[in-house]
Structure 1
């Protein structure tokens, strides 16, 4: 009896804690983000990874649930709020999740699909929308690298049920560290806002203090900095696109380095220039470029298919050869606002020279 009384007292104390969502800069940033990307609601959080775990919590995903994720992804996406990630094979062209494998791996414990827009590309997202609606699953977009990419006239991160973004340094909108979610679903937004602040606010069917949440709040000074960068987003987006176009123009005719054109109806944000390597030993080639000052996802950041990552060994359920080949042959060269025309010219020269000597 004493134990029950203590639980009720604790729940009451949590419910009476102040509402932190009244922070002015955070609230203003959320209003500005929703307007900028054409979403009904935005919820600011402390990081891009926090955005993904908060989105999963808002969608009711938790322990013992399964979440389908592409095997071609960054490992941070696999952090799935206590749920079990199930890796999905890549299509033959290496550009999106294979729908047949996705359907085969959908089971009674599956609650959501996470689409990952690596390098700012959204390939296959509209097919995933159709599939998840039919299957009764939530579709979460990891759009951390896709700020400003549009497909079919809509912004990446506003196509599924909820989109996740990062505000870390290097993103087109940044504030050092932070993130945000976009959604047109008020219930999802309310649950995300409650989860990010220890459930001190209410959400549909879940009064304040009725659940345990986390501290994923974005600090006020970081929100103010993000608002400043958001005001200059059109110029920053245009710069990234010019940088990507310049590097592609200088490299695209290089033998063994095949450009990956945007899908129909898509306008990429220029986060990375993208090629498929047909050279022998593509991972070694990418590592060579990294040593020579050309940053890239495989050579610099050691991107690998998720099921082969040591930290994900407990989730691997079999070989996914197309995913492995996709990652091994991908050359994704990212940009920052500080990259000059001279920097891009030098990277282009290095790629051309190294490809020529590598082939010979």
Structure 2
């Protein structure tokens, strides 16, 4: 049984509108930051206007800039790459293991004197291997910034994704399990990083750790008060939203069942997955074409609907002259990550499962 979706109370909008004339203008944002820090057990939370803004701001706050190299998995989305290039750093793509984790041997081989940070991406809510990555980052004196935009609620060894590194970055965009329509936030235990992030998001109109107000350039990455109020409301209902998403993902996986050509991707024993997407490995010919076929048939998925591919072969990254990452490229090509939303009902998911079953059987018959 899938729990009902959390309800949004329209009165929260009026409540914040009534406060808008206040000249301080940070009532809801400040309250949200305090609540996020408490919810995750971190010292500081800083809200921003998007998940990409969170990543960019985190890199700037950590002192990453021109000439620096940032190591990140080739199995990522372009928003993560864009944040690195916006910081004027150079992305260095690292191959993955067959189970989708960063290949630590490839990562070590790509650490140069210019490497300053490692940026793991918890794609589709998966966060396995983060413990070993923390040790490697410490050994090589690398700043660790987690892209946990899709991993709200995922746990590794009982600890929330996004709380292992120097900074963890999250998105509040619609479609995320915890959403405010748009927005983002970063978590850190370092007060200097938090101060720099807060200064950067508002054109350095406030000072930070020895850099007075107005002494540096920044961005307008502020989260609007109305979005902050909505995010506060949804934070109070997050446990229910998380339970619903996990139930949705489990139901879809169970409804599809044991199907030739599709192998369920399960999290490691140390992970507690948030159910961001139901995940399979496609063991059929022309897997990307199959994902596109499913998208056309009404099953939204990362590859077929949104064109997900490894960054090492993405057209937008050609100018970076990336080294091949063959395992990541093959893993993404064979990935079926079905997109879920809070509004998906049991009827919707069972109908989607029937489409997957029908199209998989048809595909197997046509390609073998």
Structure 1 residue aligned with 2:8: none
Tell me how far apart the structure 1 counterparts of residues 344 and 361 of structure 2 sit (CA, whole Å): 25
Tell me the TM-score normalised to structure 2 length: 0.90
Contact 1:51-1:180 at 8 Å conserved across structures: yes
> Once the two structures are superposed, what CA deviation does each residue of 1:167-211 show, in whole Å capped at 9, x if it has no partner?
111111111110000111111111111111111222223222221
Residue 286 of structure 2 corresponds to residue 264 of structure 1: no
> Once the two structures are superposed, what CA deviation does each residue of 1:49-82 show, in whole Å capped at 9, x if it has no partner?
0000001001100111111110000011002111
Tell me how far apart the structure 1 counterparts of residues 346 and 250 of structure 2 sit (CA, whole Å): 12
- Structure 1 residue 94: Cα displacement: 3.7
Tell me how far apart the structure 1 counterparts of residues 337 and 228 of structure 2 sit (CA, whole Å): 30
Structure 1 residue aligned with 2:79: 76
Residue 55 of structure 2 corresponds to residue 52 of structure 1: yes
Secondary structure at the aligned position of 1:221 is classed as: helix
Structure 2 residue aligned with 1:16: none
Contact 2:202-2:222 at 8 Å conserved across structures: yes
Structure 2 residue aligned with 1:36: 39
Secondary structure at the aligned position of 1:280 is classed as: coil
Instruction: Find the partner of 2:91 among 85, 104, 108.
Output: 85
- Structure 1 residue 334: Cα displacement: 2.0
Residue 175 of structure 2 corresponds to residue 158 of structure 1: no
What does 1:1-360 align with in structure 2 at a 5 Å threshold? 23-79=26-82, 80=84, 81-91=87-97, 93-360=98-365
Structure 1 residue aligned with 2:16: none
Tell me how far apart the structure 2 counterparts of residues 269 and 56 of structure 1 sit (CA, whole Å): 26
> Once the two structures are superposed, what CA deviation does each residue of 1:305-346 show, in whole Å capped at 9, x if it has no partner?
101111110113332211110110000012111111111001
Contact 1:55-1:181 at 8 Å conserved across structures: yes
Alpha carbons of structure 1 residues 212 and 21: separation in structure 2 relative to 1, 3 Å: farther
How well do the aligned residues superpose, as a CA RMSD in angstroms? 1.2
> Once the two structures are superposed, what CA deviation does each residue of 1:26-57 show, in whole Å capped at 9, x if it has no partner?
00010111111221110000000000000100
- Structure 1 residue 252: Cα displacement: 3.8
Unaligned residue ranges in structure 1 (runs of 5+): 1-19
- Structure 1 residue 100: Cα displacement: 1.2
Unaligned residue ranges in structure 2 (runs of 5+): 1-22
Tell me how far apart the structure 1 counterparts of residues 164 and 203 of structure 2 sit (CA, whole Å): 28
- Structure 1 residue 90: Cα displacement: 1.1
Tell me how far apart the structure 2 counterparts of residues 294 and 236 of structure 1 sit (CA, whole Å): 22
Tell me how far apart the structure 2 counterparts of residues 234 and 317 of structure 1 sit (CA, whole Å): 40
- Structure 1 residue 115: Cα displacement: 0.5
Contact 1:87-1:316 at 8 Å conserved across structures: no
Secondary structure at the aligned position of 1:314 is classed as: helix
